[in-house]
Chain A
Amino acid sequence: MILQEMANSASQWSRADGPEAEIVFSCRVRLARNLEGFTFPPWAHDSVLKDVSDKVLNAVKRSHYLKNSRLIKMSELSSTERRFLLERHLISPEFSSGGPHRFLITEKREMISLMVNEEDHLRLQSILSGLQLMDAWRLTDKIDDELEQNLDYAFLPQWGYLTSCPTNTGTGMRASCMLHLPALAVTHKIDELMKNISKLGLVARGLYGEGTKSQGDFFQISNQVTLGSREEEVVDHVESVTRQVVGQEKKARDILLRRDGIQLRDQMGRAYGTLVSAYLLRSEEAISLLSKLRLGVSLNLFPQLNVQVLNELFFMITPAQLQVKEGKEMAPLDRDELRAKVIRQRLGKLK
Chain B
Amino acid sequence: MICQVCGEREATFHFQEMTNGQVKELHLCEICAQKKGLGQTFFMPSFSLSDLMAGLTELEVPLSEEASVTCSHCGLSYGDIKRKGKIGCGLCYQELEEYLTPLLERIQGKVRHSGKVPKKGKVEDQKERRIYELRKELEILVRKEEYERAAKLRDEIRRLEREK
A residues lining the B interface (CB < 8 Å): 28, 34, 36-40, 42-43, 82-83, 86-87, 89, 92-94, 96-97, 119, 141, 144-145, 148-149, 152-171, 173-174, 178, 194-195, 197-199, 203-210, 213, 216, 218-220, 222, 224-232, 283-284, 287, 290-291, 314, 318-319
Q: Are A154 and B115 in contact (CB under 8 A)?
A: no
Where chain A touches its partner, the secondary structure class is mixed
Contact of B86 among A36, A164, A216 (CB under 8 A): A164
Q: Are A141 and B18 in contact (CB under 8 A)?
A: no
Q: Are A152 and B36 in contact (CB under 8 A)?
A: no
Q: Which residue of B lies closest to A231 (CB)?
A: B115
Q: Are A40 and B88 in contact (CB under 8 A)?
A: yes
Q: Which residue of B lies closest to A230 (CB)?
A: B115
Top 10 closest pairs, chain A to chain B, by CB: A93-B37, A228-B111, A160-B113, A154-B90, A227-B108, A198-B18, A171-B115, A42-B86, A96-B37, A220-B44
Q: Are A34 and B111 in contact (CB under 8 A)?
A: no
Residues of chain A lying within 8 A (CB to CB) of residue B50: 167, 203, 224
Decide yes or no whether B152 CB sits under 8 A from chain A. Answer: no
Contact of A199 among B21, B48, B51, B117 (CB under 8 A): B21
A-B contact pairs, 23 of them (CB 8 A): A40-B86, A86-B41, A89-B46, A144-B116, A145-B119, A155-B125, A156-B93, A157-B125, A160-B116, A166-B100, A203-B19, A204-B18, A205-B16, A205-B17, A206-B15, A207-B44, A218-B44, A224-B19, A225-B109, A227-B104, A228-B112, A232-B139, A284-B12
- Write the nearest CB–CB distance from B14 to chain A, whole angstroms: 5
The answer for the CA separation of A204 and B19 in the assembled complex, in Å, is 7
Q: Which residue of A lies closest to B40 (CB)?
A: A283
Contact with A along B37-68 (1 / 0, CB 8 A): 11111111111111100101000000000000
Known A141-B116, A207-B15, A228-B114; judge A94-B37 contact (CB<8 A).
Answer: yes
